[in-house]
Structure 1
């Protein structure tokens, strides 16, 4: 276990060498990971300057994960104060944690609205309903009520078929919403250049003519085979979270990729809106001179 004194010593060395750290938070399934400069160090806390969207996550989560090639381990920190207008925050309560945080190989997003999933376990007669927790191109997580949980059927290694309907999306609206700002903002570049729909997939049964107002991504009924890879009870609710690795065909991969890209755009736009709201609130909360 690395002591507080040792962690602070490592931070001092990083600051003296004009090096940066990275802060990691997860916002609605999307990793928000930006550089941060250490601007002040005391015996029990540090003050950092970082990206504006990172400060939104710090404000909401009240914790973050610190990573650096110059740190022996990932460090978890609590948030004492956030100044979003100046993109600064004070971090304290440091503790080292096992590696693996932020090692996702695939982007995972949480749906904006509940998506109902129907689970059919192989060789079982009945089905189980649950809400999707998050979606990646090769996997989904879903929540089921404890009363519906069957440890005999829903165990690691069980083969299942999951059916769900992705909501309709508007390509032109989502594409425009991704372009938040111009200039040197790295999150804006990310949303503008990387978060885009690679293909617009039309429902084969949808013969409506295309309009000039924007292409529609129609809702899709998906039925995909998969295998349960983890089962975790929720400590804060009467639910189980089931993680599933999907055995996708090419069409399903395209559909999921499109949905994830659109959802990424929405999340980045929401971060900007939240940043503006938090900054405005803090300005109003300041005492008059």
Structure 2
């Protein structure tokens, strides 16, 4: 799980919360009842969620039987979200090991979290490779790369420093690939800065966009095809 997908939620203290989580996990396994949980990962932005079975708790390391595609996602992200009715909140765990062939995973370093990604109104997918883009602002035009996309906006990394601030209005030009026809569709969009942080040599900005029927159509088709491609990737690796 990328840190942008969740927010830490400390109930007592980090250490006390971890002890409480481990105790409940141990009791669940010992009783043999309710050992099914749901794991949630975001593979390049695509939510991957399958049931998993608690197998054993060795010290502070939890062993689980997992779906092979979940095992791929676990290995890719290094963290996962656990959802289970026995806990007051979602759990975050670090991945110690993930074995696709054996369909097993080992998790540790548990804590409580709020899952921010579930509050989003639209799916945000990583662009791999990033798309060519330009940011036209009052101070000039910046060459950039679009790093992710949703129906509501983009995350874009400029190739030079920027003075953009939250609320600034810009015009974006993003080259959206059409993998089915091996072409590229240039989209010009009016957008507003949601937030902007300085990066080495440039700036990482999130933009909300003002859509029309044409823009929504292009983005919807691309996002659908991107989901298909990511699912294919997962199946090939599992």
TM-score strictly above 0.5: yes
CA–CA distance in structure 1, aligned partners of residues 21 and 37 of structure 2:
13
Selected match of 1:139 from 133, 140, 153: 153
2:175 corresponds to: 165
Describe how 1:58-207 pairs up with structure 2 within 5 A. 58-121=74-137, 124-145=138-159, 147-150=160-163, 154-170=164-180
Change (3 A) 1:105 1:34: farther
What's the offset of the Cα at 1:260?
A: 0.5
What's the offset of the Cα at 1:230?
A: 1.8
| Greater share of strand | 2
2:185 corresponds to: 220
CA–CA distance in structure 1, aligned partners of residues 75 and 226 of structure 2:
22
CA–CA distance in structure 2, aligned partners of residues 42 and 257 of structure 1:
46
Contact 1:20 1:37 in 2 (8 A): yes
Aligned residue pairs total 222
What's the offset of the Cα at 1:274?
A: 2.3
Contact 1:14 1:20 in 2 (8 A): no
2:204 matches 1:241: yes
Contact 2:42 2:48 in 1 (8 A): yes
Query: What TM-score does the superposition give when structure 2 sets the normalisation length?
Result: 0.84
Contact 1:24 1:102 in 2 (8 A): no
2:237 matches 1:269: no
1:256 corresponds to: 219
What's the offset of the Cα at 1:233?
A: 4.0
Query: What TM-score does the superposition give when structure 1 sets the normalisation length?
Result: 0.70
CA–CA distance in structure 1, aligned partners of residues 133 and 91 of structure 2:
36
Unaligned 5+ runs, structure 1: 171-215, 276-289
Give a deviation string over 1:132-188, Cα, whole Å, max 9, x none. Answer: 01011111111123x4221xxx11111111111212321xxxxxxxxxxxxxxxxxx
Computing the radius of gyration from Cα coordinates, the structure with the larger value is 1
DSSP-derived class of the 2:221 partner: helix
Contact 1:117 1:164 in 2 (8 A): yes
CA RMSD of aligned residues (A): 2.1
Give a deviation string over 1:85-141, Cα, whole Å, max 9, x none. Answer: 1211011111223442543331121223231111122xx151112100101111111
1:197 corresponds to: none
Unaligned 5+ runs, structure 2: 1-12
What's the offset of the Cα at 1:241?
A: 1.9
What's the offset of the Cα at 1:26?
A: 2.0
CA–CA distance in structure 2, aligned partners of residues 101 and 253 of structure 1:
21
